Amino acid sequence: MFGLRRINRDSIQEKLKSIVGNLGVFCKWSLIAILVGVAAGAFSTAFGHCINFVTTFRTNHLWTIFFLPFAGMLIIYLYKVCDYEKNKGTDQVFLTVHAEKKDIPFRMAPLIFISTVLTHLCGGSAGREGAALQMGGSIGSTIGRILHLDEKDRIVLVMCGMSAAFSALFGTPMAATIFAMEVESVGIMYYAALLPCALSAIIASRFAVNMGINPESFLIQEVPEFTVQNSLKVVILAILCAYLSAFFCVMLHTANRYLRAYFRNPYVRIVVAAVFVIAVNLLLHTTDYMGAGIDVIERAVEGEVRPEAFLLKMILTAVTLGAGFKGGEIVPSFYIGATAGCFLGYMLGLSPSFAAALGMTAVFCGVTNCPISSVLIAFELFGYSGNCFYLVTAAIAYLLSGYYGLYSGQKIVYSKAKTEYINFKTK
């Protein structure tokens, strides 16, 4: 009898100890996540304001595009002087999460900040979210070193920084939280990072809003009913956008490989690419392909599109980033998805506005291999109407985009077609 009481008492003590221990972990990660959210949020907010400023300045002073070659040479010089010319960009962040690289140096953050601003100022075709992931990862890793955390905890901080920076720039804390946990290893998620990533993302998002960075959102003009006919149209659109996303990934990697092969001198390579970008923009008499192209995405969601827009954006983004300019690939992916989707909407008899939203969802999912994040970002950008269509679109794009991806450091842990462990990097 006394033995039974003793066992029950010991069992209760163990459970209480476990509960108290979990509470300690909660307090630890809450405090650290707040710190990362504020730091990455502040850095990303400053970055967002700079990007907005140089975009407005470039739009009002189109002569800045003629300085693109000089901006390119300055970017190459900065990375060389800082002894960071062989960096792997966003892939460096993924390698750290995979424990293949121990730390991300802090100099990655200011370098990608300055270089991306220069690229946008002079009209290079690039985004900003990839830069945000690098900044956030660098800040998270640096805070981990300052706090003398162990390697596993520093990996969580890298993901915290990624989610915070993504959330601050785009205003999508739900998608940012899951994206940071989902993107490194396709097929598994780091649930231990859920609480810190969520807190960091929410804090960074609110910080950015309070400092004048408006969250991105798009108004869909018409959401069709969920009928068999409309579903078939959505399936066709999702299939085409899935293959388009794979083609974009191939184009990015091919441009990088060929530009490096034909122009071994990085200064020559980036100047040649800059001249090409300038020439194309001058020949087309448009600014639609400069910078991230958020204004073009907005027009596509309103139903206005040029049929060749998605292809030209793919080419110019591949040349810009492949030559050594800095920025991101995610917003160009949105651009490509929105313009291709809008065009296909007209072809399929589907609302062009809604088709643009579906195209963005499909291409984002295809290039990142992140179906859950894709559905969440669709909800946060477009609202919950049409949620079944977004879900179907992401599912199709995830499967049919194959094992291609924006980031060569991303791992496909489990097969997309079977419950099979494969563990190889994206093509």
Kindly indicate the confidence band of residue 5, based on its pLDDT and cuts at 50, 70 and 90: low
420 token code pair:
């099979």
Q: 356, 301 in Cβ contact below 8 A?
A: yes
On the question of pLDDT at 398 being above 70, the answer is yes
Q: Name the band, by pLDDT with cuts 50, 70 and 90, for residue 105.
A: confident
Q: What is the pLDDT of residues 240-270, one digit of tens each?
A: 999 999 999 999 999 999 999 999 999 999 9
Cα 303-390-227 angle, rounded to 5 deg: 85
Q: What is the pLDDT of residue 8?
A: 65
* Structural domains in the chain, sorted by start: 17-210 (1.10.3080.10), 228-425 (1.10.3080.10)
Residues 345-363 as b/e (b if ≥16 CB within 10 A, e otherwise) read: beebebbbbbbbbbbbbbb
pTM of the model: 0.94
Sheet strands side by side (includes 411-414): 185-186, 411-414, 421-425
* Whether residue 6 has pLDDT greater than 60: no
Q: Say whether pLDDT at 96 is over 80.
A: no
**CA dist list (Å): 19 to 32, 33, 40, 156:** 20, 21, 31, 22
Residue 10 has a pLDDT of 64
Among 4-18, 119-133, 168-182, where is mean pLDDT lowest?
4-18
Determine the pLDDT at residue 419. Answer: 86
Conformational region of residue 148, where left means phi above 0, alpha means psi within -120 to 50, and beta covers everything else: left
Q: What integer pLDDT is reported at residue 18 of this predicted model? A: 67
Please check whether residue 364 is in contact with residue 393, taking contact to mean a CB–CB distance below 8 angstroms. no
Lowest mean pLDDT among 127-131, 158-162, 400-404: 127-131
The tens digit of pLDDT for each residue in 304-355 reads: 999 999 999 999 999 999 999 999 899 999 999 999 999 999 999 999 999 9
**DSSP letters of 318-339?**
HHHHHHT----SHHHHHHHHHH
Confidence band, pLDDT 50/70/90 cuts, at residue 86: confident
Summarize pLDDT for 267-276 with one digit per residue, the tens. Answer: 999 999 999 9
